[in-house]
């Protein structure tokens, strides 16, 4: 019975090769760092294109709730400034480690982002390939964790769109979604 209910609430998964800052979805997920004060990669692109309002909200979140930064695996939302999306959901991926299995934390980023999306009432959510840039996670393994976690999620989100920047990342997600 409960598995029927979960299946009924499972989001549709879609795949795009492109730039996450151009996605007209309710919420885009940011592969942030725990400072919430900006960085490179997706984070840099979101703040550059979204404008200063996002950073101002991130600073306020640091001051009010996350004095020591947003912990790895958690997620928090701000508005999306000038992006076509309504909200940015910031989540902190784990740095890949060869000596320690941090898969649970990467799965948690996806679960927690969808939980925040549900709180916002977002129905369409775009995810980048979290942790696969400077945090060094092998793309095939990141794709497996992302797709499995989103497929298993119990959420009112209707579409999860994975937005992959390059061909190799796109191919890894496409292979997983078959």
In a 3-state reduction of DSSP, which class is residue 42?
A: helix
53 is catalytic: no
**Contact set for ligand ADP, span 58-117 (CB under 6 A):** 93
Q: Angle formed by the axes of helices 52-64 and 41-50, to 10°?
A: 110
Would you count residue 163 as binding ligand ADP (CB under 6 A)?
yes
Kindly state the smallest distance separating residue 95's Cβ from ligand ADP, in Å: 8
Give me 33's structure tokens. 């760092």
Q: Which is nearer to ligand ADP, 40 or 71 (CB)?
A: 40
Kindly state the smallest distance separating residue 43's Cβ from ligand ADP, in Å: 6
Give me 78's structure tokens. 């701000």
Where does residue 126 rank: exposed (0-12), middle (13-18), buried (19+ CB within 10 A)? buried
DSSP-H helix ranges across 9-102: 41-50, 52-64
Where does residue 100 rank: exposed (0-12), middle (13-18), buried (19+ CB within 10 A)? exposed
Question: Which one of the listed residues 4, 43, 154, 166 is annotated catalytic?
Answer: 43
Q: Which is nearer to ligand ADP, 45 or 89 (CB)?
A: 45
Would you count residue 134 as binding ligand ADP (CB under 6 A)?
yes
Q: Which is nearer to ligand ADP, 6 or 55 (CB)?
A: 55
Interface residues with ligand ADP (CB under 6 A)?
19-21, 31, 40-43, 45, 93, 128-135, 163, 165-166, 169
Mind telling me the catalytic residues? 43
């Amino acid at each position: 019975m409960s598995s029927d209910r979960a299946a009924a609430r499972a989001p549709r998964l879609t795949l795009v090769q492109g730039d996450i800052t151009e996605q007209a979805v309710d919420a885009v997920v940011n592969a942030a760092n725990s400072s919430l004060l900006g960085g490179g990669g997706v984070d840099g692109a979101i703040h550059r294109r979204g404008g200063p309002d996002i950073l101002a909200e991130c600073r306020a979140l640091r001051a009010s709730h996350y004095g020591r930064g947003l912990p790895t695996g958690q997620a928090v939302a701000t508005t999306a400034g000038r992006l076509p999306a309504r909200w940015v959901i910031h989540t902190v991926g784990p740095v890949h480690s060869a000596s320690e299995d941090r898969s649970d934390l990467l799965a948690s980023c996806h679960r927690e982002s969808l939980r925040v999306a549900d709180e916002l009432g977002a129905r369409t959510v775009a995810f980048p390939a979290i942790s696969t840039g400077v945090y060094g996670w092998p793309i095939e393994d990141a794709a497996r964790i992302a797709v499995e976690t989103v497929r298993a999620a119990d959420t009112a989100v209707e579409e999860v769109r994975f937005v992959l920047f390059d061909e190799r990342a796109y191919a890894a997600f496409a292979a997983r979604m078959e």
